[in-house]
Chains A and B, each alone.
Chain A
Amino acid sequence: MAESIIIKNLTKKFTFSVKNKSSGWVKNLFFPEKKEIIAVDDISFSVKEGERIAFIGPNGAGKSTTIKMLTGILFPTSGKMSVLGFDPTKDRKKLAYKIGTVFGQRSQLLPNLPVIDSFEFFGVMYDLTEKQIKSRVAELVELFDIEPFINQPVRKLSLGQRMRAEIAVSLIHKPKLILLDEPTIGLDVVAEKFLRDLLLKINKEEGTTIFLTSHDVGDIETLCDRTIIINNGTVIKDLPTKDLAKTFIIEKYIDLIPEEKFKDFPNLPDGLKYKIKNSNKITVTADINKISVQEAIKKLIDMFEVEDVDVYSADLETVIRHIYERDSTGK
């Protein structure tokens, strides 16, 4: 399978002036002190055609900066990129014909006009014929269930409807790659699920490569088959999403349900910690580097009279939080 994206040693530094309080205003005006921030620091990875990539990281990690370099908006300080065979810094316009972009916090639609006008407008922009526009609009309207509001002005749409229209419009030219920057931000759970299902559908039916940034674990879990984690500008993990939890689980949770009611809460052995303790339920966190699950259960059953025991792993959100925290504290 061919590569959609190839990034090699990509770095982006931002330089800005800062006021030096000990210097005079003339020096500050003409020779200001410069400060440099490394937003993306020597990252390398590649994405195959048809893959669904989650590009995640905490705020300020370098996700959006990377996406903006991939689309040709920002120029890298150093390193090389190839997106669908184009260099975004030199072939921005040619590349734009092949990719779709959705920025969750910005709109590309024409706010005062009905949704259909945005489809036609961007169809012409992507140099489609009237016939191609008509047939593609019909496909997208059906796929995204836009018919009920296609003649409504964009500014009167709900956020969920608008995001559906945003994504549909970004697909008007059948892009081979779609880059989404937090596409589900602010959506309710129903609208989120609807969008995820649609993205999966276009990935399966049209073979579109999906590259998204998100803070929403649901997006990552249900949509992406591979996750790249970036923090402080560097890629800290790149692995299949299904292995994410397995690789990083350092804790197990053990729920204990009492035969009657818990009365005493004695000190726990090393490696075990109370997470919840009340008369109806105890939840214990087991650090599996210190104590095995089997040993932990044995010790807990000796300590408490229990009717039922449930053992489970941390959810993906907790795992990701651990990764971010561990990386930022360097532990």
Chain B
Amino acid sequence: MKEIRLANKIVKTLVKDRMQYPGRLVLDTFSMIARCGVLLILYWYVFKLNNGLINGTTYIVVAWSMFFYFVFSIMRLREISRAIMQDVQTGNIEVLFCKPISYLKYKMLWQIGSGLYSFLFVAFFGTIILALMIGFPSTMAIGIFLPTLLLSFLGAIILSLILYSIVGLLAFWIEDINPIFWVVDKSVMILGGSYLPVALFPKFMYNLALYSPFGASQFITHTVYDSWKTDWLMLTGLQLFWIVVLGLAMYLIFLSARKKVSVNGG
């Protein structure tokens, strides 16, 4: 009960905090239009050149898949890596270690709260605009779509936070995690389908996207594919597998990191 109340308070406080900065929302919206919008136009043209079908997939499916990727990225969950690194580098970590909370849980909730306001805004209006422009694919009309989308969304949040927290925790050993962050982040972007939708991947890359934690953290982009109605259970199971394995790894790394704390003393 206490955990839920605290989680609710953190998220609410952060949403309130972000609402103080409408400029940030405008920036998020424009960044979404710039990144996702340009890619959607390019893909529209490429699909047109190929008579509307590539690798058995239609433009409308690809467009929604990419839209899900970019809307999810508005939550900026990846920033937890840098937030942890900053806490370690500045020594600010000591302030949170004095509180009756779990440091990692707090940072995760903080990250969700930070991005939630922009996410809800962009997701709501983006969905309406995209639906008006290109309509919905038939795969979004099946009964399991919405519940499995939510399940996959929840899995994506948890797995992304765990994955990027592990990167952040490495700051206890190497201080500057940027090179590792870059590799992990680019792996997530590529295997998550930010540049090229997963449906258009060659077999080898598709398998990599399916069985690696990087791709699994973005299974939300698979929810509009035809294969989803038969594969959703396996994909959700894979996501759960990575959540358990990496969650355990994160916990062990954190226990070890706790003993590495070395804030400036006097």
A residues contacting B by CB (< 8 A) are 14, 39, 57, 59-65, 68, 71-75, 92-94, 96-97, 99, 101, 103, 106-108, 110, 112-113, 117, 120-121, 124-127, 153, 213
Contacts and interface: CB of A to CB of B under 8 A. Distances in A.
Nearest to A75: B259
Given A59-B266, A61-B266, A73 B97 contact: yes
Interface residues of B, number: 29
8 nearest interchain CB pairs? A65-B265, A64-B265, A96-B100, A124-B9, A101-B98, A64-B266, A73-B97, A93-B100
Contacts of A92: 97
B258 A126 contact: no
Interface in B1-52: 2, 5-6, 9-10, 13, 16-17, 20-21
Contact of A68 (B16, B100, B259, B265): B265
B5 A124 contact: yes
Contact of A113 (B16, B93, B95, B101): B16
A9 B266 CA distance: 19
A75 B100 CA distance: 17
B266 A213 contact: yes
Contacts of A117: 13, 16
B261 A73 contact: yes
B135 interface: no
Interface in B83-102: 91-95, 97-102
Nearest to B102: A93
Contacts of B101: 93, 96, 125
Given A97-B100, A124-B5, A124-B6, A112 B264 contact: no
Given A93-B101, A106-B95, A113-B20, A75 B258 contact: yes
Interface in B243-266: 258-259, 261-266
Given A73-B98, A124-B6, A125-B9, 10 more contacts: A14-B262, A68-B265, A72-B97, A72-B98, A73-B97, A112-B17, A117-B16, A121-B13, A125-B6, A127-B100
Contact of B91 (A60, A106, A112): A106
B94 A121 contact: no
Contacts of A14: 262
A112 B20 contact: yes
Contact of B95 (A57, A103, A121, A153): A103
Interface hub of B6, B10, B100 (most chain A Cβ within 10 A) = B100
A108 B87 CA distance: 12
A324 to B, nearest CB: 13
A126 B17 contact: no
Nearest to B8: A124
Nearest to A40: B265
A14 B8 CA distance: 39
Contact of B100 (A57, A103, A120, A125): A125
Contacts of A106: 91-92, 94-95
Contacts of B2: 127
A110 B94 contact: no
Interface-central residue, B9, B99, B265, by most chain A CB under 10 Å:
B265
A94 B98 CA distance: 10
A71 B265 CA distance: 13
A103 B99 contact: no
Contacts of A96: 98-101
A103 B99 CA distance: 13
Contacts of A108: 95
A216 to B, nearest CB: 14
Contacts of A112: 17, 20-21
Given A113-B20, A127-B2, A64 B264 contact: yes
A73 B20 contact: no
Given A64-B264, A75-B258, A103 B94 contact: yes
A120 B9 CA distance: 9
A68 B263 contact: yes
Given A75-B258, A93-B101, A113-B17, A63 B266 contact: yes
Contacts of B91: 106
Given A103-B94, A121-B9, A125-B6, A74 B99 contact: no
Contacts of B21: 112
